[in-house]
Amino acid sequence: MKRTFTVLLSSMFAGIYCLMPAMGAASAASWQDFQLPSISPAQIQELELPLSPPKAQELTDVAYNFDQTKLNAAKDSFHFLRSYVDYFYLLVKANRGSLQAVSSADNVAGWCVGDAHPENFGVLIQNDGSSLFTMNDVDDSGPCPAVLDLYRLMTSSRLYDPTTRLDKLVQAYAAGLQGQAYATPGPVADMINKSQKKGTAPDPKKVSGNRLVRDGNMQEITAGELAQIKTALASLPQLKLLDAVSTSKVGGGSGGLLRYEVLLDNAGALLHLEFKEEVTPSIYPVAAGQIPAIPQRISTAILMDQGSGASAFFRVVPMSGKYMLIRPRFDGNVGMSLDKQSAQDNTDIIRYEAYVLGKIHSRSVANAGNWSSQVQNIPGSAWENDVSLMTRQFDLKFSQLKGK
C-alpha cells in the first residue's frame, strides 16, 4: 500500500493554511474562485512513499541474567514469567512512566504476596483443622505498592488466558478489600472438600512405611545435614525423625533453592515437613521501605495470607548460614492446577483469586475503603495499557531466549 493520497492531502491543506490569513476578508465569491494547485502524474509518482505502520509501544528492557536451567524448564511465556519474578519488578521499576495504572496508584503501600499468579493459590489446612483457600507461596512477599500484586495477577492471567477480563478482576479485588460476600466457585469448593477429606496425613504416594519415596530430584543427606535438621527440629521436641532427603525444584521462582523433606513421628501419626531455603524476596526492586529480616518477613507473610489460624508447623530456622522455612506437607494442602479445569472454571477461579488477594491486602493497607475506590477509578484503558505492555514484553523475551 502507498500513502500517495495522504501526502497529497497534507500538501494541499498546507497550501490552504498558508493562504488563509490573506483570505480572511475575502467574499464568498473569492472562495468560489480559489483553485487548488494542479499536480502532474509525474509529481504524484514522486510523492509515492512506502506505508510503514506505527511501531507498537514496548517496554524498555533491563539487564538480567536468565538462569538457563529455569529457562529450559519454561514451556511458555506464562511459565517464563513465573520463573523470573524479580525480572518482572525490575521492568516495572524501569518503565514506571509508561505504566499508566501502576504509576497512578503506586503511592499506596501494603504487604504484597509478591508472586501473585493463578497457580500460586491453594487450600491450606489451618491449626484448628479447617481448610482455607489463600495464597500458598510466601517466598517473595514483602512491603511494596499494593497495586503491583494486582498487576502481576492480571499479567500472569492474561499470559495464561488472553481473554481474561481485567475489569472483572478489579471488581473482585475491590470486593475482597471491602469484605463483601463473594460466591465461591465450584472448583474451589471442591478443593476445600477434598482438603478436608485428605487431612493432615502425608500424601500416600510419597510415603512407604516409615520412609519417603525417592524420586529423581532427591539425594541422600550427609551426616552433617542430618545433624542440622535434628538441631532445627529441637523446637518441636514431640517429633521423632524417621527419614530425611534433600531435594530440588527446577522451574518456578524458587527453582534451584535448597530444600529438604523430612518424615516424622508425631505422637504415633506420620508428619511430612519441608525445609525450604529463603532468600531476598523478588519484590526488592520496588520495595516500600526496608525489607524485614527473613524470620520477621515470613511470619508477617503467613499472618497476612492466613490470619492467626495458620498451622503451628510453619516456622523459620537457621541452618548453615541460611534461613529455612519449615512448612507442613499435608495431603490436604491442595494446590491449584489450571490445566485440570475447564476454561469457564478457570475464569471463575482467577476472579476468586483476585477477591482473595483483596482480602489479604485489606489486612495491611492503611484504608481499604479508600484504596478500593482508588483502584476502581483507574480507567480500564490504563489497565489494558499496562497489562498489554508487560505481556508483550514477556512474549517477546521468551521467544527471543528460546530462539523461536
The partner residues of 319 in beta bridges, in order of sequence, read 322
Contact indicator for 139, 299 with CB cutoff of 8 Å? no
Residue 8's pLDDT is: 32
The pLDDT, as a whole number, for residue 320 is 83
Do residues 74 and 261 touch, judged by C-beta distance below 8 A?
Answer: no
Three-point CA angle 359, 177, 329, nearest 5°: 10
Rounded CA separation 337/345 (Å) = 11
Q: Which helix (H) or strand (E) holds 56?
A: none
User: What is the Cα–Cα distance from 246 to 225, expressed in whole angstroms?
Assistant: 9
pLDDT value, residue 94: 98
Nearest-5° Cα angle at 315, 313 to 321: 140
Mean pLDDT by 10 residues, the chain (404 residues): 35 36 37 37 39 62 95 95 97 98 98 98 98 97 98 98 98 98 97 98 97 94 95 91 87 70 97 96 97 98 97 94 96 95 96 98 97 98 98 98 88
C-beta atoms surrounding 226 within 10 Å: 15
Bridge partners for 273 per DSSP: 262, 328
Gap between the Cα atoms of 260 and 367, Å rounded: 40
Rounded Cα distance, 117 and 350, in Å: 9
Q: What is the pLDDT of residue 248?
A: 76
> What is residue 254's predicted lDDT score, i.e. its pLDDT?
55
**pLDDT value of residue 7:** 33
The pLDDT score that the predictor gives to residue 257 is 82
0.75 exceeded by the pTM?
Answer: yes
Instruction: Look up residue 111 and give its three cell numbers.
Output: 504487604
The residues near 58 (Cβ < 8 Å, ≥ 6 apart) are: 389, 392, 393, 396
